[in-house]
Amino acid sequence: MNEFSLIDCYFKQRALHRPDLIFGIGDDAACLRIPAHQDLLVSTDTLVSGVHFLPSWDPYDIAIKAAMVNISDMAAMAAQPAWISLALTLPELNTEWLEAFSKGLAETLAPFNIALIGGDTTRGPLSITLNIMGLAPQGAAVRRTGAKPGDRIYLSGSIGAAALAVDFLYDDSINPEDKQILMKKLQHPEARVDFIPILRQYATSAIDISDGLSADLNHILTASGHGACLDLNKLPIHALVHQYKATQAIDFALKGGDDYELCYTIPAEKEAAMREALVQSGLSAHCIGVIEAQAGLRGLTDSGHIIALEALGYQHF
């Protein structure tokens, strides 16, 4: 097997087709037809071995994670993911690894109707870069810039479990069933594309939680030019974080990344309608705070005090 039969066998044959994909894998570039009155949104995420995943992980799980973190970026923009390309760097031609990886990738992309349209395959230290493209009606993409004082801050699900999984990565002293739940949170995050209609209709800003709630919310605050106060008692923290880290639960929720839930802001006067829309869609989200004119991130404690919070999260440099 060489580079080209590898691409054909593991990626081309497994790629799904969409009518807006004129041609994909096999030419020097793919050709896409963007529907009229739609905007194209583009995003890239790289996963490096030893940083975002361990080389010992099942390649099937690595593929799921790589795809989901990219799909999550589209969800955070309220864009419907449509096409993806893959730049894959492998230390060796390992057919077993490729079989599991390409299966995980195809199985993750299929339910979202995302077509793999091309890529690049090279030899070197294991790393996976996906370039994802999605569509939104013209002007409907939700940015980080639109939060206004008085807006309510919402979170699409519970947080902290993925960071707890990282904490227990080399620790097998915890209950194996709990460890399995945590590893699933870390390896198989669920991109919240189910929130796209809610974001398009109500959100003034949105972001996905990749580095940690405080760091990611702070991106919204900086981009929007405002501050926020979080109700620290209302953070939807995963039950296992409470169980294993009772005294540090809020820290895990604020600083722990990898959850890929969505944090979004909505105007206070639309809150009732948004909550009704959530119920209609079978979704749940939690109000965790409010945008304020005063810059900076603050937190309301259970004793009723307001404390300054640091915008801490994962940073590569």
Measured between alpha carbons, how far is 121 from 8 in angstroms, rounded to an integer? Answer: 12
Applying CB under 6 A, the span of 20-28, 33-41, 50-58, 208-216 interacting with ligand ADP comes to: 20-28
Binding mask 149-168 for Mg ion (x = CB under 5 A): --------------------
Sheet with 115-123, edge to edge strand ranges: 38-48, 127-137, 80-90, 115-123
- Residue 119 CB, shortest distance to Mg ion, in Å, is 8
With H, G, I as helix, E, B as strand and everything else as coil, classify residue 55.
coil
Applying CB under 6 A, the span of 111-119, 124-132, 275-283, 287-295 interacting with ligand ADP comes to: 111-119
* Residues in contact with 192: Cβ distance below 8 Å, sequence separation at least 6, in sequence order: 72, 75, 156, 157, 208, 260, 261, 262
| Chain residues 89-128 in contact with Mg ion, contact rule CB under 5 A | 120
Residue 88 interacts with ligand ADP (CB under 6 A): yes or no: yes
- Total of chain residues touching Mg ion, rule CB under 5 A: 1
Residue 83 interacts with ligand ADP (CB under 6 A): yes or no: no
Residue 225 interacts with ligand ADP (CB under 6 A): yes or no: no
- Give the CA distances from residue 315 to residues 128, 205, 222, in Å, rounded to whole numbers and listed in that order: 19, 22, 17
Measured between alpha carbons, how far is 184 from 309 in angstroms, rounded to an integer? Answer: 29
CB 237 within 8 A of CB 230: no
Residue 3 interacts with Mg ion (CB under 5 A): yes or no: no
Residue 59 interacts with ligand ADP (CB under 6 A): yes or no: no
Residue 310 interacts with ligand ADP (CB under 6 A): yes or no: no
**Quick count: other Cβ atoms within 10 Å of Cβ 302?**
9
Residues that bind Mg ion (CB under 5 A): 120
Residues that bind ligand ADP (CB under 6 A): 7, 11, 25-28, 86, 88, 116, 118-121
